[in-house]
Amino acid sequence: MPRPVEINLGAEGELARERLSYIHGDVPVYPLPDWVWADQVLVDGAQRLRRLHDASIGFSSDDVIWQSPAKIPAEVVCHNDFSPHNLAFRDRRIVGAIDFDFCSPGPRLWDIAYFATRIAPLTATPPQNAPGMDDARRRVQTILDAYGDDHVMTWEDVVRVAIIRLYDLAGLSRQKAAELRKPQILEDAKAYDRDGHYLATLRG
C-alpha cells in the first residue's frame, strides 16, 4: 500500500497537498485485460483486502472527517472502491491498492460485496471477455474463502449488500451530477440502478 511521504497544509491549516510513495506496478483500465478475470486475481484481491481491513482495526476515528459517509456496523476502515482499476499488478499479481480518498468506517462486507460486483462480476451486462453470471456464485465463494472463514459470509449476503451498494452509488452519482453540473454522470447512475435492479431480480 502507498505510504505517506509528505503533507503540506494551507494558510488556514487545511490539507493542501499530500504526497504518497509510488507503487511500482500496472493499473488496468477499462476495457479490462482478459487476465484480470483469472481466479488468482480473486484470491489475491480478497487476501489483500483482508490485510487492509485487519490493519485498520483500532484506528482512532475521533474527530476524523471522512469524504464518504460511515456505514454501520463500523467494523473496519473500508476502501470503498476496491476494484481492478484501483489495484496495482506486477506479473499479473496484485502488489498494492491505490486511491484511498474515499475511505470511511464500515462493515467488511461493504468492501467485499463491491469487489465481487466488479470482479465476479455481478452486473446485468458483463464487461468484454468477463465471466458470465453462470459462474458468479463460484467466483464469489472463491473470494469469501480467500478472505477467511472466521468471518461467516454467504453468496446471499454478498448479493444483498451489493444491491444496497449499487443503489447507494446511483444516488451519489446523481448528487455529483447536480453539484458539478455534469449531466453525463447520470449515465453512471443509470448503470448502477440497472445492475442493482438486475441483482434484486435474482434474489426473487
The mean pLDDT value for 107-130 works out to 96
Residue 105, domain CATH: 3.90.1200.10
**What would the pLDDT profile of 136-193 be if each residue is shown by its tens digit?**
999 999 999 999 977 789 999 999 999 999 999 999 999 999 998 998 899 999 999 9
Does the structure show a pLDDT above 80 at 60? no
For the chain, how many structural domains are there in total?
1
Q: How confident is the model at residue 65 (pLDDT cuts 50, 70, 90)?
A: confident
Angle formed at CA 15 by CA 10 and CA 17, multiple of 5 degrees? 90
Q: Identify the pLDDT of residue 63.
A: 80
Got the DSSP string for the chain? ---EEEEEE-TTS-EEEEEEPPP-SB---SSPPGGGGSHHHHHHHHHHHHHHHHHHTT---TT---SS---SS--EEE-S--SGGGEEEETTEEEEE---TT-EEE-HHHHHHHHHHHHTT--SSPPTT---GGGHHHHHHHHHHHH-TTS---HHHHHHHHHHHHHHHHHHHHHHHHHHT-GGGHHHHHHHHHHHHHHHHHH-
Does the structure show a pLDDT above 60 at 15? no
The mean pLDDT value for 71-100 works out to 95
Q: How confident is the model at residue 12 (pLDDT cuts 50, 70, 90)?
A: low
- CB neighbours of residue 14 within 10 Å: 7
- Please give the residue range of the domain that contains residue 119: 4-203
Q: Identify the pLDDT of residue 87.
A: 97
Does the structure show a pLDDT above 70 at 5? no
Does the structure show a pLDDT above 90 at 11? no
The mean pLDDT value for 88-96 works out to 95
61 Cβ contact list (under 8 Å, min separation 6): 70, 74, 77, 105
